[in-house]
Structure 1
Amino acid sequence: MSAESTPDPAIPGPGESRTADSRRRGKGRRRRPRAKRRKALLVAAWSAAGVVVLGGTGAGVLFFKLNGNLTSLDIDQALGTDRPEKADNGSQNILVLGSDTRSGGNEKLGGGADDGTARSDTAMVVHVHKGHKKASVVSIPRDTLIDRPECTDTDGGEHPAAADVMFNSAYSTGGAACAVKTVESISGLRMDHYLEVDFSGFQKLIDDLGGVDITTTEAIKDPDSHLDLPAGTHTLDGEQALGLVRTRHGVGDGSDLGRIQLQQAFVKALADQVKDIGLLGNPKKLYDVADTATKTVTTDSDLGSVNSLMSFASGLKGIGPDSMNMVTMPVVYDSADPNRVLLEEAKADQVWKALKSDGPIPENATEGTATGGAKGVVNAAE
């Protein structure tokens, strides 16, 4: 699939506003300093963490090997103190990104040249509610026009603020730290952790897990994503799974919003299946999955060891597909540029305020917003 520096036009849904007056941006919020401190998906990162838990209990002798696989970034140091306050209600916020780098194993998968650039192909804010029995997940469309705040990357490089730019420019400009800063600016929520998964690792992880079973209610065909699925039940291998979560032309209105709906459905299908895989009875498969998982994720420094990742994953084991509420950040199509979407500020504020108070996302917060037209096309196989 070719690199998508300019997404294809999105077709507006019925009744969706495209007037010039609707051109609203996600504004950065400045706060007083405080004293303290790929295409891939949410469940790829969660599964990665989960199999590390199994790896730690069933293959402890491999601890140092797995520990050496992990990559971590000191995002807290890069962001400093000008950040939203940590929640005091027992909840956690995790930013999960799927990276679209054009190097190594990802060059072939991304379809672009190794030009040294990277893009955040998928972005999800995972809010783990108090008690860690349920989660709310908010996908942020990469084509959303925002005002990006100034930021410092993890190498110390400084990047100026920019107005009316695509959301995924934050990652391509300043990497993980700038992506976190931008999400915190839009949402007003503190990101407690960061997890990033790359294309090649995601594909291999699905293969190591033995594939994922899904049911499609209509045919999905996209030559760019090497995807040709008739309606019916399928066991997707890694290449097909990657094609599914990357396709935007094969289903819905052809926009990034439709792709997000496919991604969310795939997350639930994988989460539903991964609990029944039975890795503990197959030591070689267990090792392959744990090895791939620890090579696939990049984390913040607080999760940068197997022990830390095991502890983190243990706290998420009670969250299954039925206890995940997945929505897309409320947006409307841009009347001036059909390739972009705009933040629907009033409704988005409802979402972020609900999560800040650790409450459920109101159903009316996503009513009447741009959708993508792909909901219900992909489901977990029965």
Structure 2
Amino acid sequence: MSAESTPGPGTPGESGTSRRKVRGPRHRGLRVMAWTAAGIVVLGGAGAGCLYFKLNGNLRSIDIDHVLGSDRPEKTDDGSENILVLGSDTRSGGNRKLGGGADDGPARSDTAMIVHVHRGREKASVVSLPRDTVVDRPACTDPRGREHPAADGVMFNSAYATGGAACAVKTVESLTGVRMDHYLEVDFSGFRRLVDALGGVEVTTTEDIDDPDSHLELEAGTHRLDGERALGLVRTRHGVGDGSDLGRIQLQQAFVRALAERVEEIGVFTSPKKLYDLADTATRAVTTDSGLGSVNKLVSFASGLKDIGASNLHLVTVPVRYDPADHNRVVVQEAKAELVWDALREDRPIPAAATHGTAAGEADGVVSAP
């Protein structure tokens, strides 16, 4: 199945309030979240001697700046940074079993989040970009050097499938007008290993979740999820809300907070062993841009994030509405979205007016940190 034909969220409505559940083919993509950036925090202070060489050898990086060149939004010099965090649904290697299928086709970015670290590095705003958002994709060069012409009216996740990480970054910058300073990517197995390395993450569900597509069954109550069940939670779509990808994003954002609280709870910075174990896991789990492609660079970046706790995260979804031309897609509400992009460019809090009355997915409050 091509990225452009992948079914998406529910039905249209003028105010985003009229929805129905969509039971299309399964989509088994990893929903990686802003917690990936938080997970990299564990690298702080862990790069010395032989440990440096081991951790450095774990890392994979992509020179996105070289591919994209200079035709990009300008960098800001106000001390803030923007990180594009992607989750890929590759079926290669150990991800085939976790993905639940044998499809070895091109990977797609099934989740994208812009993590904006505010000046002073004490707060972060996180903006989720639904994979089913209809966008105009700019011309891209893929990792093999092949040129791909621009395409209008395609799904957002087709950018990664077409041209990899650099094309995803270019598409986000074209959509937002905001420069992405860094890039982080994680896949199925990387997600699972990170959660297991933390000893699991505790969440509370307010209703039963039973989703055969994500293989998750949870009774209402408090649960400590290991990596496999956490993967099921962030992939759950038809088990909550209106059955759309927007509802699944609400679960992911709740999990972000729960994971941030878990990092604070276990105090990784007080234990050298915990710090190293998580650093080893994190460096194996992610792919970064070349600006973060060494332990020294990650240490410098991550050391500035350790003060951002769960209470200092502001998580929203880009303002969208269900597409009246295709009930399985969403389109950006341009005027409201511009309020979000302006806030990121100017390092301001995202105003409540930006997301008021937009399509959301009806899964708010289903999952929370205990």
Does 2:212 match 1:223?
yes
Does 2:251 match 1:262?
yes
Corresponding residue SS for 2:185 = strand
Select 1:152's aligned residue among 141, 144, 166: 141
Does 2:166 match 1:177?
yes
Q: How does 1:181-330 map to 2 (within 5 A)?
A: 181-279=170-268, 285-330=274-319
Deviations 1:138-187 (A, max 9, x none): 10000000110112234422111001100000001000000000000000
Q: CA deviation at 1:110?
A: 1.7
Q: CA deviation at 1:15?
A: 3.6
In 2, Cα distance between the equivalents of 1:345 and 1:314? 35
Corresponding residue SS for 2:110 = strand
Q: For residue 24 of structure 2, what is the aligned residue in structure 1? A: none
Q: For residue 43 of structure 1, what is the aligned residue in structure 2? A: 35
Q: For residue 89 of structure 2, what is the aligned residue in structure 1? A: 100
Specify whether residues 213 and 4 from structure 1 end up closer, same or farther in structure 2 by C-alpha distance, changes over 3 A only.
farther
In 1, Cα distance between the equivalents of 2:273 and 2:119? 36
Deviations 1:261-313 (A, max 9, x none): 10011001100111221446766554432222101110000100001001100
Does 2:8 match 1:55?
no
| Contact 1:11–1:254 under 8 Å retained in 2 | no
In 2, Cα distance between the equivalents of 1:5 and 1:285? 43
| Contact 1:150–1:162 under 8 Å retained in 2 | yes
Does 2:322 match 1:333?
yes
| Contact 1:213–1:234 under 8 Å retained in 2 | yes
TM-score using structure 2 length: 0.92
The count of aligned residue pairs is 357
Corresponding residue SS for 2:112 = strand
In 2, Cα distance between the equivalents of 1:194 and 1:68? 19
Specify whether residues 9 and 94 from structure 1 end up closer, same or farther in structure 2 by C-alpha distance, changes over 3 A only.
closer
Q: For residue 153 of structure 2, what is the aligned residue in structure 1? A: 164
| Contact 2:90–2:107 under 8 Å retained in 1 | yes
In 2, Cα distance between the equivalents of 1:280 and 1:300? 25
Deviations 1:22-63 (A, max 9, x none): xxxxxxxxxxxxxxxx4322213321x12222533xx75321
Letter aligned with residue 259 of structure 1:
R
Q: For residue 23 of structure 2, what is the aligned residue in structure 1? A: none
Deviations 1:223-264 (A, max 9, x none): 111101111100001011001111111101111100111001
Does 2:122 match 1:133?
yes
In 1, Cα distance between the equivalents of 2:274 and 2:122? 28
Specify whether residues 313 and 285 from structure 1 end up closer, same or farther in structure 2 by C-alpha distance, changes over 3 A only.
closer
Letter aligned with residue 128 of structure 2:
S
| Contact 2:86–2:111 under 8 Å retained in 1 | yes
Letter aligned with residue 357 of structure 2:
G
| Contact 2:9–2:328 under 8 Å retained in 1 | yes
Letter aligned with residue 341 of structure 2:
W
In 2, Cα distance between the equivalents of 1:149 and 1:374? 33
Q: Between the two proteins, what is the percent identity of the paired residues?
A: 70
Corresponding residue SS for 1:55 = coil
Specify whether residues 362 and 210 from structure 1 end up closer, same or farther in structure 2 by C-alpha distance, changes over 3 A only.
same
Letter aligned with residue 274 of structure 1:
V
Select 1:113's aligned residue among 91, 102, 121: 102
| Contact 1:72–1:301 under 8 Å retained in 2 | yes
In 1, Cα distance between the equivalents of 2:136 and 2:267? 46
Letter aligned with residue 44 of structure 2:
V
Corresponding residue SS for 2:266 = coil
Specify whether residues 231 and 5 from structure 1 end up closer, same or farther in structure 2 by C-alpha distance, changes over 3 A only.
farther
Root mean square deviation of aligned Cα: 2.0
Structure 2 alignment gaps of length 5 or more: 19-29
Specify whether residues 350 and 279 from structure 1 end up closer, same or farther in structure 2 by C-alpha distance, changes over 3 A only.
closer
Q: How does 1:60-75 map to 2 (within 5 A)?
A: 60-75=49-64
| Contact 1:11–1:253 under 8 Å retained in 2 | no
In 2, Cα distance between the equivalents of 1:328 and 1:363? 12
Letter aligned with residue 202 of structure 2:
D
| Contact 1:17–1:333 under 8 Å retained in 2 | no
